[in-house]
Structure 1
């Protein structure tokens, strides 16, 4: 297998030399087609958070991803890590003693200080930094912030403008307040993990609850910054993974009294179903009998003669056009007042018809047909293929960075395009403690004090 290489060179943009862009030819595997991508190197315009200082006490995913979004926006993000680093430095593919895949992809653009957080001198230095900070992002274990004197109430006494965003598992109230939680636990508790007759199936590769938590934190902080701009007041934010899981399921986590009485009956049935000897298959079947699943005829993944195609004709107008394109006789689409005797069985029958027709031709054939008709359809791809997708590269949705220890990496780019204050990726994630000394200087510690901390192994800075 041939390793991917990227060859970059400056280009002329609209007739003028532009040093801030390069064109790169990306070669993946022998015989693979090369395509050009634009890669941002340095952005001459300041980002929306330029001049803000963020202190991040974050580990794993939600808080670090939130911090990365602010770093992309130009903020000075100081990541405070324990002496052995954020736990994410050991998650995913291990690349060195202190680097791993799951750290690289959510910590770019930050500065790292590695310290023994329980040392009173370190606490004092961090409190000094907090006096001039704009934002603190944390996901301390419950009660740890208060124990260290790095909680909102303590810091707000000497910095009332501070915006302090906390990521908890279950929120600050209720019987689970204060308990530790992870993405998988929240998937289980909120029903996001699909329960089938064969057992629960989690979303394992992509912890979507954690990432939604990070996005909600960033939205909350941006809103709090606007409030501070108008009032001069900071505030405390709580974003829980439980709330993030509910937001992700906004389509299905709801109850309409008029039609959802079955839900109360099913919940009552669940209380002693296992005690009565019911199997998981019995329970899944019982729920399906109370609320039969609807199988859309023109929405979902369909088998073709040589693979699969995704079709997303969700609205009635699109469904009518799709049925006509496929030659499916569907009375419920043609007549809005048509009421089949059994709607569930009817939709299954229509799905069977459309599936049978789609199976007669190749995926490429149907993609061309649907594109010509202006109907929503697309191919199925492995994640491995997405990293070479020219649509992603042309829109700068992926970016190449050079990590000082690991080398070249491809990561997902900042998620929003700004016309006046663009987000940018300037540096890869920092090696452990790369900026420890300079950050302690900014905390007004003397060189002698700093040297003593290093000598006592209270602070770590990885050698260059």
Structure 2
């Protein structure tokens, strides 16, 4: 058992795919005992990026530190085992669709009746209320539904790359945060409660900078929405986004926070605020009265001026190598980075120095390197307990803990109620 801050907490996870399993892994890294309940065929991610049968890339990176119990929830005995497990848990994690959870009596109301201290934490695609509450949805579907997918579109006809499940991972962290709040409140009152978040909530959090309407200045949004049905016909989303940007009264100057080509690569700078912007102009030997002259009055349409400055910065950036610019920016205190490929990060010294890279040996797969715990505590550090377990590896000992005898367990195995490794 880990000595992390959640030692002594038992979590039962009915989670598939990404959001709930990653939440469960965060809790396991923090020292909780996490029992993952899988169907007889295993979590679907065991077959995603399959390496050997039953062990896939997407399972290995979200399920370390968990015991694996394999149950047939189509069998009455399997459902009863699941209920017994949940009744003894501090926390239940789930991403059942609401109607299915209720039909199995694995919803919050049913579990609270037998365990008033239980914290029931669940994610859905679209939330638990509203006309779309029962609709199925994965990350990319919710990205499309919520506007996030379109906002990531390039400026040509190509669709956005759906490869990063942004809402899944944000939902996982939101769910873990909700569990922590509920555990703290339970410590004061002795009562459990239901915790709910959704991929939709995660998407809106990601778009918080944009999703703010100020009545006095944001009437443009209503004008844009009236035009939007016509804009959607035959135009790429990148072009539609440009129309929306041009209509906004508060323009963001593109020169000071952007990506630029250098003589041998690409670099990103982020100069938020006038002091950093003035440093950049001094370093590049450029002038922009928007930044340097308090008396300067911006034109009614500032975009041509902003674009001129942007192109002047872009031309300057091409005159030196990435390494030369990074040295200059570091000396000037300007935040900047070369643009790296994701494949570089597992070997990167900064990620390794901060414990963000974790390596383990898996009995069936061999050596695996993946992302480590993303938070560290000084006195009770987070530490992955053990590698992901084979399907059903812990079925027998967990059922024995629940009071099932050897003969009963053997019968369950024979009848297809449970599976063992």
Q: Normalising TM by the smaller chain, what interval?
A: over 0.9
Range with bigger deviation, 135-144 or 191-200: 191-200
Residue 392 to residue 289, structure 1, CA distance change in 2 (3 Å)? closer
Q: Match for residue 124 of structure 1? A: 80
**CA distance in structure 2 between the aligned counterparts of 1:132 and 1:382, rounded to whole angstroms:** 45
Summarize deviations over 1:68-108 as a string: whole Å, max 9, x none: 001001111000000011111112x2101111111110110
2:105 paired with 1:149: yes
**After superposition, where does 1:444-459 map in structure 2 within 5 Å?**
444-459=403-418
> 91, 103, 110: which is aligned to 1:135?
91
**CA distance in structure 1 between the aligned counterparts of 2:362 and 2:236, rounded to whole angstroms:** 48
**CA distance in structure 2 between the aligned counterparts of 1:426 and 1:182, rounded to whole angstroms:** 29
Q: Secondary structure at the match of 2:148?
A: coil
Residue 288 to residue 72, structure 1, CA distance change in 2 (3 Å)? closer
> 217, 221, 224: which is aligned to 2:179?
221
Runs of 4+ deviating beyond 6 Å: none
Q: Match for residue 318 of structure 2? A: 359
2:17 paired with 1:67: no
2:46 paired with 1:89: yes
> 249, 254, 257: which is aligned to 2:215?
257
Q: Match for residue 272 of structure 2? A: 314
Range with bigger deviation, 280-289 or 212-221: 280-289
Q: Match for residue 8 of structure 2? A: 51
> 394, 412, 421: which is aligned to 1:435?
394
Q: Match for residue 288 of structure 2? A: 330
Q: Secondary structure at the match of 2:52?
A: coil
Q: Displacement of 1:283 after TM fit?
A: 4.6
Q: Match for residue 421 of structure 1? A: 380
**CA distance in structure 2 between the aligned counterparts of 1:199 and 1:56, rounded to whole angstroms:** 41
Q: Match for residue 348 of structure 2? A: 389
- Please identify which structure carries the higher helix content: 2
CA contact (8 A) 2:72 2:79 kept: no
Query: What TM-score, normalized by structure 1, do the two folds share?
Result: 0.86
Please give the root-mean-square deviation of Cα atoms over the aligned residues, in Å: 1.8
Q: Secondary structure at the match of 1:405?
A: coil
**CA distance in structure 2 between the aligned counterparts of 1:445 and 1:200, rounded to whole angstroms:** 56
CA contact (8 A) 2:218 2:248 kept: no
- Please identify which structure carries the higher strand content: 1
In structure 1, the gaps of 5 or more residues are: 1-41
**After superposition, where does 1:152-301 map in structure 2 within 5 Å?**
152-193=108-149, 194-196=152-154, 198-199=156-157, 201-271=159-229, 279-280=235-236, 283=240, 286-291=243-248, 294-301=252-259
**CA distance in structure 2 between the aligned counterparts of 1:89 and 1:351, rounded to whole angstroms:** 47
CA contact (8 A) 1:433 1:461 kept: yes
Query: What TM-score, normalized by structure 2, do the two folds share?
Result: 0.94
**CA distance in structure 2 between the aligned counterparts of 1:351 and 1:52, rounded to whole angstroms:** 54
Q: Displacement of 1:303 after TM fit?
A: 0.7
Residue 424 to residue 283, structure 1, CA distance change in 2 (3 Å)? closer
In structure 2, the gaps of 5 or more residues are: none
